[in-house]
Structure 1
Amino acid sequence: MTDAALFRVVRGTPTDEELAALTVVLTAKAAGGQQPAEPPRSAWASYWARRRAPLTPGDGAWRASALPR
């Protein structure tokens, strides 16, 4: 097995711990392991859409329903 450099330090003097941390990050990134993206949820399935304010009948209720709360 050859000891080919995976990366090289261009500037600065990193410690052994810093190089080890960088090696772990680059190895994990190269391994992939990407999580599958969760499909977007429909607004119809939203929990908060079902938890809306109760209907309140009365004078001007239809007008007040369009006002911000």
Structure 2
Amino acid sequence: MSAEEPLFRVVRGVPTAEELAALVGALIVRSRRAAAPAPASTSAWARSGRPAGRDTWRASGLPR
């Protein structure tokens, strides 16, 4: 693809400048989500309430 070649073209209709801007914005947002998916892990807040380490489940029931 050369620098002069458009990334997309309108093949039907005559979109307004606002419609083209909305299309470009949607394409940018969609390409960013595909490139960097959100991590599917537990939040830091939820992890802070859990004990960490091996066999900590046993210690969690003991009085402090």
Using structure 1 for the length normalisation, give the TM-score.
Answer: 0.44
Instruction: Return the structure number with greater helix share.
Output: 2
Using structure 2 for the length normalisation, give the TM-score.
Answer: 0.47
**Structure with bigger gyration radius:** 1
Structure number with higher relative contact order (C-alpha < 8 Å, ≥ 6 residues apart):
2
